[in-house]
């Protein structure tokens, strides 16, 4: 009898232990509006999610909702995360008008040399809680695009030719840059750019060299002005309640592969991809890549660089935030 009771107790303990082990596995929904077979999904999100799953020891799994499955409007992705429609979401702050008022700092022309330093600087500003609009949000990972250029269907040869063109813009910074150049800004989400260029609604766009491939813009825009119009911040946010469901091991895996490590890896990836696509287009007879002439560079100095001083004056914490960013960039460039 005692033997049977002991066996029963052992079996019960084993059952409870198995149930506890199963309960440790949490599956999070991950959503992006970018194409399911695009670079964001296959080259950035997929490898990152796989690393977290592996290091969680089975405590963390992901369900992927790419290509706008949970919502095609990029401006709604922060809300989708906050409302729990998705546990994790790819958020481009410029689409969420008014919620992240400091993020257009990243749009300032010639401020960043590349995506890697911009991504790492973005991560550090988030870590210091210096950017408004992120309260109550759990930002797991961030990165930026490389510097945006100007890409048009209408033939152009120099910066002066941009005047009067209808260009897609995103965020206050790029919109302001367009105004300074005499262009007419048309706000559109990136997935809608190619169609609107093809239909003649707009003449071109301000986008980085990765995005024009990702969103098939280079299939309809054949003139590319290599001007540095700033970068575009991207974040992967997680619903705080969803995050709290994770085991300590799952949280450790997420921390290990996010933060500066993620910013550095994705920043380098974007820089490499930018260079590769720029080189591809330069060699393609259908495309014309235009480097800035001496006159163009002088025009940038005269028309675009004053935007830095204007930005600092237009924000309640502008001077402090700009100075902090410059300090961070000095540290990153020094290898710190």
What the block records as the tokens of 318 is 């502008």
Rounded to the nearest 10 degrees, what angle do helices 46-55 and 248-256 cross at? 140
Is the pLDDT assigned to residue 276 strictly greater than 70? yes
The alpha carbon torsion through 192, 217, 213, 176 (nearest 10 deg) reads -70
Q: Note the pLDDT tens digit of each residue in 254-269.
A: 999 999 999 999 999 9
Q: Among 109, 106, 150, which residue's Cα sits nearest to residue 291? A: 150
Q: Note the pLDDT tens digit of each residue in 24-74.
A: 899 999 999 999 998 899 999 999 999 999 999 999 999 999 999 999 999
User: pLDDT-derived band of residue 18, with 50, 70 and 90 as boundaries?
Assistant: very low
Is the pLDDT assigned to residue 9 strictly greater than 70? no
Is the pLDDT assigned to residue 158 strictly greater than 80? yes
Average pLDDT on 157-182 reads 92
**What's the pLDDT at 229?**
94
Asked if the structure places residue 4 within a domain, the reply is: no
Are both 156 and 187 inside the same structural domain? yes
Are both 55 and 133 inside the same structural domain? yes
Are both 244 and 256 inside the same structural domain? yes
Q: CA-to-CA distance for 85 and 98, rounded, in angstroms? A: 22
Domain that holds residue 81: 26-146+232-272
The helix or strand, by DSSP H or E, that contains position 271, with its residue range, turns out to be helix 259-283
233-238: strand order across its sheet:
60-65, 26-31, 88-92, 233-238, 138-144
Are both 216 and 128 inside the same structural domain? no
Is this model's pTM higher than 0.85 or not?
Answer: yes
**What's the pLDDT at 58?**
96
Are both 253 and 199 inside the same structural domain? no
User: pLDDT-derived band of residue 98, with 50, 70 and 90 as boundaries?
Assistant: confident
Are both 104 and 163 inside the same structural domain? no
For residue 289, list its beta bridge partners. Answer: 224
**What's the pLDDT at 195?**
97
Are both 263 and 297 inside the same structural domain? no
Asked if the structure places residue 16 within a domain, the reply is: no
Q: Which residue has 């030719």 as its token pair? A: 161
User: pLDDT-derived band of residue 273, with 50, 70 and 90 as boundaries?
Assistant: very high
For residue 233, list its beta bridge partners. Answer: 144
The alpha carbon torsion through 42, 43, 48, 50 (nearest 10 deg) reads 50
Are both 192 and 50 inside the same structural domain? no
Under 8 Å between Cβ of 78 and 137: yes
Sorted by sequence, the CB contacts under 8 Å of residue 228 that are 6+ apart come out as 109, 110, 112, 147, 148, 149
First-last CA distance in the chain? 68
**What's the pLDDT at 171?**
79
Asked if the structure places residue 2 within a domain, the reply is: no
Are both 66 and 156 inside the same structural domain? no
Domain containing residue 36: CATH number: 3.40.190.170
Are both 71 and 177 inside the same structural domain? no
Sorted by sequence, the CB contacts under 8 Å of residue 171 that are 6+ apart come out as 93, 94, 103, 104, 107, 232
Task: Please give the mean pLDDT across all residues of the chain.
Answer: 92
Is the pLDDT assigned to residue 23 strictly greater than 90? no
User: What's the number of domains the chain is made of?
Assistant: 2
Q: Which of 3-17, 90-104, 276-290 has the highest mean pLDDT?
A: 276-290
């Amino acid at each position: 009898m005692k033997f049977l009771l002991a066996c029963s107790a052992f079996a019960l303990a084993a059952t409870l232990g198995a149930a506890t082990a199963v309960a440790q596995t949490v599956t999070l929904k991950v959503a992006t509006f970018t194409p399911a077979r695009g670079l964001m999904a296959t080259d950035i999100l997929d490898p990152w999610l796989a690393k977290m799953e592996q290091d969680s020891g089975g405590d963390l799994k992901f369900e992927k909702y790419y290509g706008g499955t949970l919502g095609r409007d990029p401006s709604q992705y922060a809300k989708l995360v906050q409302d729990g429609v998705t546990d994790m979401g790819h958020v481009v702050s410029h689409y969420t008008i008014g919620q992240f008022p400091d993020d257009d700092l990243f749009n300032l022309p010639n401020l960043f040399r590349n995506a890697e330093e911009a991504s790492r600087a973005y991560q550090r500003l988030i870590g210091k809680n210096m950017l408004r609009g992120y309260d109550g949000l759990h930002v797991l990972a961030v990165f930026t695009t490389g510097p945006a250029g100007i890409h048009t269907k209408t033939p152009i040869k120099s910066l002066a030719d941009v005047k009067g063109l209808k260009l897609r813009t995103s965020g206050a910074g790029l919109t302001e840059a367009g105004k300074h150049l005499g262009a007419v800004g048309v706000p559109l989400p990136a997935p809608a750019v190619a169609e609107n260029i093809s239909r003649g609604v707009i003449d071109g766009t301000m986008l980085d060299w990765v995005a024009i491939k990702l969103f098939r813009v280079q299939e309809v825009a054949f003139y590319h002005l290599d001007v540095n119009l700033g970068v575009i911040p991207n974040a992967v946010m997680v619903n705080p309640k969803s995050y709290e469901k994770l085991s300590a091991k799952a949280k450790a895996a997420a921390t290990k592969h996010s933060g500066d490590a993620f910013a550095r890896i994705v920043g380098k990836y974007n820089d490499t991809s930018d260079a590769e696509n720029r080189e591809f287009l330069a060699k393609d007879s259908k495309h014309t890549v235009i480097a800035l002439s001496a006159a163009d560079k002088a025009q940038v100095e005269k028309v675009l660089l004053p935007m830095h001083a204007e930005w600092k004056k237009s924000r309640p914490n502008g001077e402090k935030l700009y100075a902090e960013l410059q300090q961070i960039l000095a540290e990153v460039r020094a290898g710190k």
